[in-house]
Amino acid sequence: MDTPLAPHHDQASMQDSSAPRSARDNAFHRSIGVFSGTAINMTQMCGIGPFITIPIMVAAMGGPQAIIGWIVGAILAMADGLVWAELGAAMPGSGGTYVYLREAFQYRTGKLMPFLFIWTMLLAIPLLMSTGIIGMVEYLGFFFPNLGWWPVHLIGVAATVVVTWLLYRRIESVRSITIALWIIMLVSVVGVTAAGFSHFNAGFAFAYPADTFGSHFLVGLGAGLIIGIYDYLGYNTTAYIGDELRDPGRTMPRSIIISVIAMMFIYLLLNISVLGVAPWQEIAQSKSVASLVVERSWGHVAAAVMTVLIIVTAFASVFTGLLGGSRVPFQAAQDKVFLSVFANLHAKHGFPHVALLTMGVVTAIGTFFDLTEVINMLLAATIIVQSLAQIAALVVLRKRQPDLARPYKQWLYPVPCVIALLGWVYVYVSASTLSLILSGLWIIAGLVVFAIWARLNQSWPFAPTEIRETYLGKQ
């Protein structure tokens, strides 16, 4: 799982996004440059994800050509990242997508789009956490290989309950956890890659099937791209901390571009090293591929150590992810753009307990699904109301707010937008039928809830739209 850690979850700090520029500048110190911004992005991108998705990618693509999935994923991440870069540089507050949709779509549909985005995050963020729990349990299989269906899922639910219980209190900072998580993850990636190359067999790594690029290739690529873009999630982290970036117009695009390219090479090296240790058919069937690689190369004890590191990483990822994620609906509710119940704070400890418990329950439910299905569902749920909506927001804002200060304007516009649009549509239609149905029903339910909420709050469509061009004249 690509852990959405503290900065990534600074979309939780949405209440500051509508404040005047001077107020926001007083709240945050602009100290993050290109190097530190790139490091932040890469920290969020490189989680447990590749350790649980390499087998899925290899199985989906049908061989070592799985590396193409990561290359195409990088192209989509790059094109989409340039959408984030223009929007984030023009509106460098905390809030990310929430702010962009609010500013772009307020003219015709009021608060509908930011409401739907937050509604979708109630599903997508916990599902992302579910992938971490599922991955953790899969790696526990290295020590307990004979666990049945019920024990596996009971452990998953129990882990979610423990995380929620640990978070059920005021937690001021996760900086130390963030640093520890990054160090552990770095050790894991470097260790597995080194183990793979120390026992490398080119005959395994480049054993492409005879029909590699046959008629089924595009179908496999679609499934592989879903996995690939999941592993790159986090390239947009700096867009959520725009208030802390030094020279956002320069830092935002460069941090995104550099982090995507760097992670592509890291993923390719990791993938090739793993494929060089065993036949790709065996890799595709592995539930703990990192343990397999290290055990084949350096023995059982080294594999056990690596497995523990990955399990710890997965648990910490879920902890920090739910901590930040629970703040997303809370801040939107405080801004009166979402259900007021989520604005409630715990009477004693002052944290958003309603949002935390809601997301904890959804995370637990998600652990009962197959890992591939969960990834499909979380992407299908966000593509429409985030990825595609942001592309539309960029185009709308160029027309509606031509005088908006844009320190960075998308290179070769609208080519990156078109590439991102086609890529996201390809990912969406490649998702499983179940994920499309469930995500569609969730969005429909969100529309119904919005209609009720808007009626009670006398908001659009039951009242005229309220136009607040927050960033015009503020920069």
What are 148-197's pLDDT values in tens digits?
Answer: 999 999 999 999 999 999 888 877 655 567 677 778 888 899 999 999 99
pLDDT band at 90 (very low <50, low <70, confident <90, very high): very high
pLDDT mean over 50-68: 92
pLDDT mean over 375-396: 96
pLDDT band at 363 (very low <50, low <70, confident <90, very high): very high
What are 272-291's pLDDT values in tens digits?
Answer: 999 999 999 999 999 999 99
pLDDT band at 379 (very low <50, low <70, confident <90, very high): very high
Residue 466 lies in a domain: no
Structure tokens at 409: 């304007």
Residue 347 lies in a domain: yes
Per the structure, the complete domain to which residue 273 belongs is given by 8-456
Residue 467 lies in a domain: no
Residue 436 lies in a domain: yes
Residue 468 lies in a domain: no
Q: Is the pLDDT of residue 28 over 80?
A: no
How does the average pLDDT of the chain come out, rounded? 88
Q: Is 126 exposed, middle or buried (0-12, 13-18, 19+ CB in 10 A)?
A: buried
CA distances from 449 to 325, 344, 360, 453 (A): 21, 19, 21, 6
- The pLDDT of residue 29 is 63
- The pLDDT of residue 442 is 95
Distance in angstroms (rounded) separating the CA atoms of residues 121 and 161: 20
pLDDT band at 73 (very low <50, low <70, confident <90, very high): very high
| ∠ CA 123-126-127, rounded to 5° | 80
Residue 475 lies in a domain: no
Please write down the HEC assignment for all residues of 211-263: CCCCCCHHHHHHHHHHHHHHHHCCCCHHHHHHHHECCHHHHHHHHHHHHHHHH
Q: Is the pLDDT of residue 23 over 70?
A: no
pLDDT mean over 349-374: 93
Q: Is the pLDDT of residue 15 over 50?
A: no
- Residue 267 maps to which CATH number? 1.20.1740.10
Distance in angstroms (rounded) separating the CA atoms of residues 336 and 216: 48
- The pLDDT of residue 173 is 56
Residue 45 lies in a domain: yes
Q: Is the pLDDT of residue 319 over 70?
A: yes
Name the domain count of the chain. 1
What are 202-261's pLDDT values in tens digits?
Answer: 999 999 888 788 777 888 899 999 999 999 998 988 888 777 788 888 898 999 999 999
pLDDT band at 25 (very low <50, low <70, confident <90, very high): very low
- The pLDDT of residue 297 is 95
- The pLDDT of residue 316 is 84
Structure tokens at 399: 């027309």
Residue 260 lies in a domain: yes
pLDDT band at 103 (very low <50, low <70, confident <90, very high): very high
- The pLDDT of residue 19 is 40
